[in-house]
């Protein structure tokens, strides 16, 4: 009997020893970073830019953050909210990653935020602007390195009313969360500064038959139009707006997404348009110039706002890890460090709001040739109101 008991004791001891060494190894072994980004479909280029930006920062640190080598696990998010939970669980449950970076599509990001909240895995969102991620869904382990839909929109509203002196405006967007959040942000900024949004036009996503709505705009003759579209819809809308002859009489405003990455296709029709975003071409700061040169050297590509957001996601991870001495398990230290950090971003330094969204300068840009040239800083250090966040 005693031999059996001794054997059991020995086995238990070995098991504990194995566990202990595994736990110890976690502090010094490779840090597992799960990249859940679009690697297929319409957003592929965005996913690639984010990954490039992230890896650029890590490479600049010699491939290590706080002495820990980085091991990447990649999952294609397919830009499909229906598959989002399964896909993120591949990283959380199968690969046991320490941190997840993703993604572009807001619907997918919401599912990821939910999974991260439940499992406690650190999540850094490098693009999706859904207000809810740092609003009602906010959590100590969820961070965003990009923007909330409210931010550039609110800034454009203020610019339109204050600087441009517009009184009456109309908004137009797809009837979906990002569109609603954006036009509401504009309305808030515009009306707080004395303007009035008369009418809010919408159409079903991703419908691009704008003719009826353009007819309506032409008849109502507002002082300005604020539009939120992205990708193909943005190209089509800006072109149609010009084809209808509206750009000559009614200026078209929008968040940067209306003209970012779409200028090649928009060509003549976008010239002179004003948009707002947390990044612009020709910032011409030492930090941004160095970043642009390094990026162009590494990837033979010009960086864009997505690359910046990926780069800053890695910076935020680096800051947190440094405070936790490489052990991401030290959650309190990790989170506190990022909350207090000043991120030295190519876009200009930014800090974190209480809900973990960047408090950042929003720039006013003007389309000039194939660039969104910096005009001025629309609002310095704009924080998202983070409505609904309890943390």
Partner 1 sequence: MDFGTFLVQCLNSVQYGLLLFLVASGLTLIFGIMGVINLAHGSFYMIGAYLAFSLAPLFGDQFLLMLVAGVVLAAIFGYLLEWAFFSYLYQRDHLQQVLMTYGLILVFEELRSILVGNDVHGVKVPAWLDGSFALGNVMSYPWYRLFASAACIVLAVGLYWVVNRTRLGMMIRAGASNRDMVRGLGIDVKRLYRIVFAAGVALAALAGMIAAPMSSVYPNMGASVLIICFVLVVIGGIGSITGALLASLLVGFVDTFGKVFFADLSGIGIYLLMAIVLIWKPEGLMGRRS
Binding site for partner 1 (CB under 8 A): 41-42, 44, 175, 199-209, 211-213, 215-216, 218-219, 231-232, 235-236, 239, 243-245, 265
Per the structure block, which two tokens stand in for 182?
A: 């954006």
- CB-wise, 161 or 172, nearer to partner 1? 172
Least Å distance, CB 344 to partner 1, is: 34
CA-nearest of 279, 176, 180 to 226 is 180
Tokens 């202990």 locate to 20
Least Å distance, CB 266 to partner 1, is: 9
Q: Before 206, cis peptide (omega within 30)?
A: yes
- CB-wise, 235 or 321, nearer to partner 1? 235
Least Å distance, CB 213 to partner 1, is: 6
Helix (H/G/I), strand (E/B), else coil: 341: coil
- CB-wise, 120 or 232, nearer to partner 1? 232
Least Å distance, CB 216 to partner 1, is: 5
Return the half-sphere exposure (C-beta side, CA atoms, 13 A cut-off) of residue 159: 29
Containing 203, the helix (H) or strand (E) segment is strand 196-203
Burial 78-113 (b: 16+ CB within 10 A, else e): bbbbeebeebbbebbeebebbbbbbbbbbbbbbbbb
Least Å distance, CB 203 to partner 1, is: 5
CA atoms of 142 and 148, how far apart (whole Å): 14
- CB-wise, 199 or 340, nearer to partner 1? 199
Sign of the CA dihedral running 317, 319, 321, 326 = positive
Helix (H/G/I), strand (E/B), else coil: 201: strand
- CB-wise, 45 or 322, nearer to partner 1? 45
- CB-wise, 106 or 357, nearer to partner 1? 106
- CB-wise, 44 or 351, nearer to partner 1? 44
Query: What DSSP string runs through 246-279?
Result: GGGTS-EEEEGGGTTTTHHHHGGGGTT-EEEES-
Burial 300-314 (b: 16+ CB within 10 A, else e): eeebbbbbbbbbbbb
- Residues with Cβ within 8 Å of 283's Cβ and at least 6 positions away in sequence, in order, are 346, 347, 348, 363, 374
Least Å distance, CB 333 to partner 1, is: 43
- CB-wise, 218 or 290, nearer to partner 1? 218
Least Å distance, CB 292 to partner 1, is: 24
């Amino acid at each position: 009997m005693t031999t059996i008991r001794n054997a059991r004791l020995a086995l238990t001891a070995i098991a504990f020893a194995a566990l202990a060494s595994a736990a110890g190894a976690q502090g010094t072994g490779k840090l597992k970073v799960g990249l859940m980004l679009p690697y297929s479909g319409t957003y592929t280029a965005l996913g690639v830019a984010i990954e490039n930006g992230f890896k650029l920062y890590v490479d600049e640190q010699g491939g290590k953050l706080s002495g820990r080598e980085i091991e990447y696990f990649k999952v294609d998010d397919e830009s499909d909210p229906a598959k989002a939970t399964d896909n993120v669980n591949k990283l959380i449950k199968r690969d046991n990653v320490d941190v997840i970076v993703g993604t572009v599509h807001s619907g997918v990001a919401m599912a990821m935020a939910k999974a991260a909240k439940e499992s406690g895995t650190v999540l850094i969102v490098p693009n999706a602007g859904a207000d809810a991620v740092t609003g009602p869904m906010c959590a100590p382990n969820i961070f965003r390195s990009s923007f909330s839909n409210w931010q550039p929109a609110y800034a454009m509203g203020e610019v339109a009313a204050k600087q441009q002196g517009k009184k009456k405006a109309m908004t137009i967007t797809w009837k979906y969360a990002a569109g609603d959040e954006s036009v509401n942000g504009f309305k808030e900024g515009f009306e707080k500064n004395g303007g009035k949004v008369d009418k809010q036009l919408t159409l079903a996503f991703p419908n691009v038959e704008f003719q009826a709505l353009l007819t309506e705009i032409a008849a109502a003759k507002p002082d300005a139009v604020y539009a939120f579209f992205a990708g193909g819809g943005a190209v089509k809308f800006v072109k149609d707006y010009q084809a209808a002859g509206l750009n000559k009489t009614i200026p078209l405003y929008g968040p940067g997404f209306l003209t970012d990455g779409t200028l090649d296709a928009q060509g003549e029709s976008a010239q002179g348009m004003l948009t707002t975003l947390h990044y612009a071409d020709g910032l011409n700061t030492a930090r941004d110039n160095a970043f642009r040169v390094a990026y162009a050297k590494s990837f033979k590509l010009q960086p864009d706002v997505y690359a910046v957001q990926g780069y800053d996601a890695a910076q935020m991870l680096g800051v947190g890890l440094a405070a936790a001495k490489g052990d991401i398990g030290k959650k309190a230290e990790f989170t506190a460090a990022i909350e207090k950090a000043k991120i030295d971003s190519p876009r200009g330094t930014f800090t974190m709001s209480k809900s973990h969204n960047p408090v950042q300068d929003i720039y006013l840009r003007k389309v000039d040739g194939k660039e969104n040239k910096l005009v001025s800083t629309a609002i310095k250090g704009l924080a998202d109101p983070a409505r609904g966040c309890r943390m």
